[in-house]
A = this chain, B = another copy of it.
Amino acid sequence: MTKTVLESLNKTVIIGHDEPFCVIGERINPTGRKKLAAELEAEIFDTVRHDALHQVSSGACVLDINAGVVYNTNPNPNETEPILMEKLITLVQTVVDVPLCIDSSVPAALEAGLNVTKGRPLLNSVTGEEERLEVLLPLVKKFNVPVVAISNDDTGISEDPDIRFAVAKKIVQRASDFGIPANDIVVDPLVMPIGAMATAGQQVFKLVKRLREELKVNTTCGASNISFGLPNRHTINATFLPMAIASGMSSAIMNPTNPDEMSAILAANLLMNKDANGSKWIKNNRSLDQKTESNGSIGERRRRGDRHRRSSPR
């Protein structure tokens, strides 16, 4: 089955259909975080350090690094963003040892990031836009890294999932022309807010299945978009993620410090038989239920032959 291999200096993370769901931590990103943006412009990196550690201790397998600060002193991101990207990546690599996801709309910032990243990072992102394909696919090939492919193109983001699928297919084909294999492309089918489009959830579930079965690619998404504008967003997100996982989604770019979403992902891994002997689940929930723990590990219970009970306890 499809495997996308990411590496840090010492760690390998595989995004794959047969792997536990890969959580890509989204916090190191100044977009919508005024305080962080101001800190970065002032070359203060305490929040970045904290966010790197906190996300990894919360269960992120990969960290997204976005240096998209609009400087008050210089509004040209082509000049400022590559420099900041280098600084952020260099710093984060001294704090944690997980693969990185280099996230920018500025090609020079992506290249600057690639030059200083150890291991095999994920590049975020190429789209179906012609200019972006022409600039970025050679970079992907040169550095031999996997890339996030977002399914919009020069016409924008289509509300028609068939068109979004066609854009993804085009990117996979164009990448193939450059010698980039499908397993190094992680498609983001684009998650619309369910509050703006009632079919947004169903679109994602169907697209993920098609992308997996027809294009043989891994998938990712900005998961929290689904609940934009609605009350009790965490429950919507924590419900959406398992449904996407059941449909075949293999990763998400998200906030790993939200316990609702992370618990749902751990449970979904357990339910998809991607948590051997339930050891991660039991380890993470031991303190919640000491009584049950005394029943022993799943492995022990399986060996003892505990079986199905027709009537479930209440």
Closest 9 CB pairs of A and B: A201-B271, A231-B289, A239-B267, A243-B246, A232-B285, A231-B285, A224-B312, A31-B311, A231-B292
Shortest distance in angstroms between A191's beta carbon and chain B's nearest beta carbon? 8
Instruction: Note all chain B residues with C-beta closer than 8 A to A286.
Output: 231
* Interface check A306, CB cutoff 8 A: yes
Contact size range, A: 35 or more
Q: Are B314 and A32 within 8 A (Cβ)?
A: yes
Given contacts A194-B271, A236-B270, A239-B242, A225 and B278 within 8 Å (CB-CB): no
Task: Name the B residues within 8 Å of A306 (CB-CB).
Answer: 193, 195-196, 229
Question: Nearest Cβ in chain B — how far from A133, in angstroms?
Answer: 18
User: Do the beta carbons of A309 and B246 come within 8 Å of each other?
Assistant: no
A277 CB to closest chain B CB, in angstroms? 8
Q: Is the CB of A288 within 8 A of B202?
A: no
CA distance A194 to B269 in the complex (A): 11
* Cα(A293)–Cα(B244), bound, Å: 26
Contact at B194–A270, with CB atoms within 8 Å?
yes
The segment out of A70-78, A87-95, A141-149, A295-303 that lies at the interface is A295-303
Binary interface profile of A, 220-250, with partner B (CB < 8 Å = 1, else 0)?
0010111011111101101110111111000
Q: Which of B196, B236, B302, B308 contacts A157 (CB 8 A)?
A: B308
> In angstroms, how far is the closest chain B Cβ from the Cβ of A75?
18
Q: Does A45 touch B at the CB level, under 8 Å?
A: no
Q: Which residue of B is nearest A288, CB measured?
A: B232
Q: Give A149 Cβ to nearest chain B Cβ, in Å.
A: 15
Q: Cβ of A233: which chain B residues have Cβ within 8 Å of it?
A: 292
Residues of chain B with a CB closer than 8 A to A247's CB: 246
A179 to chain B minimum Cβ distance, whole angstroms, is 30
Partner of A298, one of B32, B195, B302: B195
Q: A236-B270, A278-B194 are in contact. Are A288 and B231 (CB under 8 A)?
A: yes
Question: How many angstroms between the C-alpha atoms of A271 and B192 in the bound complex?
Answer: 11
